Amino acid sequence: MDSKLIMTATEAIKGLNLTNKVYLVTGGYAGLGTEAAKALLKANAKIIIVGRNAETQQKFVTDLLNDKSLKISQNQIDAEQTMDLGSLESVSKFAKHIYQKYEQIETLMLNAGIMRTPAGKTKDGFEIQMGTNSKLKMIPKIRTGQIKIKKPEEGASTQVFCSVTPYSELENGCYYADCKIEPSSKSSNIAGDAKKLYDYCDEVTKKYQ
Ligand SMILES: NC(=O)c1ccc[n+]([C@@H]2O[C@H](COP(=O)([O-])OP(=O)(O)OC[C@H]3O[C@@H](n4cnc5c(N)ncnc54)[C@H](OP(=O)(O)O)[C@@H]3O)[C@@H](O)[C@H]2O)c1
């Protein structure tokens, strides 16, 4: 796969057959998650869609099944559970359910997140952006400060590319944008900070693991 030529999520899975492979997509019923989910379905993958709003989630599943361009079957989608990233109890309950139900999941596409929301706190009392974006991911979110506005189908290409590319062809711990390794922000490279954050997340989630 030549990453330089990939522009959209659909192009990132072009030619692949993901039958019998299971992908978990958080926040799959909105924005980039929707486009990533559709791309994976087009390649015959099974997807677990999870968001915090059961009604929106079920409507999304109905829309997918009715979308004639996708031609997918009901058993390609698992949307029976919801999960609120703002609640460690909810995340823990969902993680246990998935662990028991599936022997193997190819990729956890941890796409759900928030950015520049009004001040607030999660149910567990963490600052809302930090609490929502890092609990399940356990790593800091890195942003590019990109100026070109992309369509969701283009924005979802990198997460799909990284999900379907064999692990041995990716570089662990690197920041990917436009389906290739890009430099990340200076602050994300401060020695020790990543470990400090990882250890902190580990500590505060201990009782839910
Ligand atoms: N769009 C971009 O250009 C861009 C660039 C860099 C990074 N990102 C990151 O990529 C991710 C997806 O971006 P997007 O533009 O697709 O965002 P989006 O359209 O706002 O979708 C975010 C998704 O996250 C879910 N979510 C938010 N809080 C949640 C919670 N507490 N529990 C469970 N789900 C929750 C939302 O569900 P609800 O509908 O229930 O709120 C929604 O499905 C975000 O993490 C964003 O920060 C986006």
Residue pLDDT tens, the chain, 209 long: 555 677 899 999 999 999 999 999 999 999 999 999 999 999 999 999 999 999 999 999 999 999 999 999 999 999 999 999 999 889 888 988 888 899 989 988 989 999 989 999 999 898 999 888 875 443 333 233 334 567 889 999 999 999 999 989 999 889 999 999 999 988 888 879 988 888 888 888 888 87
CATH of domain 3-208: 3.40.50.720
Give the pocket of ligand 1 (CB within 6 Å).
27, 29-33, 51-53, 84-86, 111-115, 132, 143, 155
For residue 39, the SS3 value is helix
How many CA atoms lie less than 13 Å away from 191 in the CB half-sphere? 0
How many CA atoms lie less than 13 Å away from 10 in the CB half-sphere? 7
Q: Which of 4, 15, 51 lies closest to 158 in space, CA to CA?
A: 4
The alpha carbon of 27 and the centre of ligand 1 are apart by a number of angstroms equal to 6
Q: Whose CA is nearest to atom 15 of ligand 1?
A: 31
If 0-12 CB within 10 Å is exposed, 13-18 middle and 19+ buried, where does residue 166 land?
Answer: exposed
Q: Whose CA is nearest to atom 37 of ligand 1?
A: 27
pTM: 0.84
For residue 43, the SS3 value is coil
